Amino acid sequence: MKPETESFFERVYEVAKLIPYGKVTSYGAIAKYLGAAKSARIVGYAMNGSFGKDVPAHRVVNRKGLLTGKHHFEGTNLMQQLLESEGIEIIDNQIQNFEAVFWNPLVELEQL
């Protein structure tokens, strides 16, 4: 990995660690917060590489509230189980009441 990619990943992890229990955000929301609005996919790559780094990657979903990254978690439904244990309702890989549990770093945080 290039050094600039590594530092971007670390910035993604810093934001992801701030997502409150029982809330979710999107890849795109993190990218926008970091000033890289068109880098949602790169945020996804960062989430893939976050295992073992104490990052709550299960709280990062796509812009529609779909658990698109669930196949990167061990076990069949680990991402869903982790979210449900935090009180988030999921039906057919879709977070219910997505707007109510959505955490927007642009609104909630000062710029890192």
CATH of domain 3-104: 1.10.10.10
What per-residue confidence (pLDDT) applies to 51? 87
Spans of the chain, pLDDT less than 70:
1-6, 111-112
Q: Where are the alpha helices (DSSP H) in 1-112?
A: 3-16, 27-33, 40-48, 78-85, 98-101, 105-108
pTM over 0.85: yes
What per-residue confidence (pLDDT) applies to 71? 85
Q: 90-112 pLDDT, tens per residue?
A: 999 999 999 999 999 999 997 55
DSSP-derived secondary structure letter, 2: -
What per-residue confidence (pLDDT) applies to 76? 78
